[in-house]
Chains A and B, each alone.
Chain A
Amino acid sequence: MNDTPALVVDSVSHSFGALGVLEGVSLAVPRGSITAVLGPSGGGKTTLLRAVAGFETPSEGTVRIAGNVVVHDGRSLVPPERRGVTIVPQEGALFPHLSVFDNIAFGLKKRRGSDAEKRVRHLLDVIELGDLADARPSSLSGGMQQRVALARALAPSPALVLLDEPFTALDATLRQTVRDEVVATLRREGETALWVTHDQQEALSVADQVAVLLDGRLVQVADPVTLYREPATKQVAQFVGDAVVLRGTVDHDGVHALCDTGRVTLSRPAVAGPTDIVIRPEQIEISANSVDPNSPSCDGVVCSTRFFGHDGIVDVRLASGFVVSVRVHATLLPAVGECVDVRVNGPVLAFA
């Protein structure tokens, strides 16, 4: 196995006029892996993707694809068509004048002949659209179009596939199914992919590695579990999942802290003193307590509840007056005005 990364982005910066959109972005995508670039819209994700694909030339930095330098210090050395990088755009962008078969065959060096036929048939089977080879893209559903767009991108065996928020055009129920199919296909074919998304659940569930891009800077690159459990900054913590942020004080031992919910354990040592404590809603557990809501031994009072079916959110006003949101099983929804005990399970994060 060759262990040159499929993609290396080294200190890439880019700006549109005075507006900086990428600042010193560095990232390596190992072969056969899926890397998600996660960030809010306007965070520079699409610019990064277009810089890799060759539709944008970043003003500084180097991009290497399969070891070859394609961009260096503001000059594009290899045009998009010779980078070996294919894209799956947001809305598929299938060629409407070509059949499904011809769409998939578009990027093959030889589009006629038995090899091409075999390759396209294989991909049609992989995306389970074997019987729609002659269909026009306009007759396909959004999900099918997206699968064809993926097959088209995989056909020429690219060094890297770029997926640009590939499912935003689909409705929520369809998105999950198509996403699973696409990930399964990428895995089965051993493809390398750079997947741009603003959806943290999507990023965490599909990727081997997630790169968080906030305001044009890569704030953290890590595997999904590490990213969620040990985010580098408070901003990342809040971006990759729901978070309850409380003011607190780190003990002199550096591994415990005191906050509105009482004494908590830190997931990593911190400097003693005032701090922000970040708790995931699922770490907070509440249980009914029959004491008078006004008594000092009451941890918190339920001030509102929201019912979602399988679970619900309970807003609890702590003794300090601070309101925290807690996720609970739907069957355990307490009544508004009730007193509850509040407990924090597991270690929490402190950001000074």
Chain B
Amino acid sequence: MSDTILTAENLTRHYSVKGGLMRPDATVRALDGASFSLRPGSTLAVVGESGCGKSTLARVVTMIEPATSGRLTIGGKEIGPNGAKGDRDLRAMVQIVFQDPYGSLNPRQTIGQTLMEPLLLNRPEIGKADREKRAREMLLMVGLRNEHFDRYPHMFSGGQRQRVAVARALMLDPKILVLDEPVSALDLSIQSQILNLLVDLQERLDLAYLFISHDLSVVSHFADELMVMYLGRPVETGPLKDVYAHPRHPYTRALFSATPVADPRRKRNRIKLEGELPSPMAVPPGCPFNPRCWKATDECRQSFPEYTGGRHSYACFHPLAKDELPRAETQA
């Protein structure tokens, strides 16, 4: 598509872990072949449990770390092994908001300083007065007030701090915003304020969001596209509505059914997954989900399935039929 702003093909990030006396060297396949694209004004949500590679994906996309292999194209430029080093325009293009608004703001900088720093570093040609003017405008944009400019982070609540973090990310006029669990550290009544802010900013600035979360209820409200990951691999990707209406991958189905829904009358038919998440250092061969899957066969234990289906793609040898009743469910 012509209007994509970011394309990732087969993005991979491996870490090598030095062995010890009794332990051989090992490779952690934190991210193992992710392909997706981002378009202005729309949101791709990445969901999965811990160790599924969500945060590694965020680090690779923000060019904090280079990919081990695969292609990443942002705004028409292919990202080389040096990442965004020496290319400030590229750096300005992708910005990130972190999960913990208490840890991600410098306690010794005023809000004003925090907001002006990205300009100071990346746009040194902008004068002091102009820099301050832009920072003050940004404060208003994220729903804070002018008098907050000279205050320090400890004087703010979690929700306000997260607004500051969003404002800082927007200072360089990015096209892509990576949101790494932006509301999971916030209380429910504050969470909705921040989500509304993000929706509003997206509409006004035509931003592309990469929204990383483990909370499906937030995602289902917010996203246009959904990518479900398991142990470093996307297992199912597609338009949110399609994936919700008909999850094809057993893991997606299990994840949906395990997510609590705030409706006491809803008939519960949880799929009870056996076992634990394997360690990313010892990913099972074949499809990584096979030890916990109720449909697994020998085929699943030997090779990773190809991605099939067009826009709604999934990697499974035994995709679920619509309204198929899984064995695990009938047992429970």
Partners in one complex: no
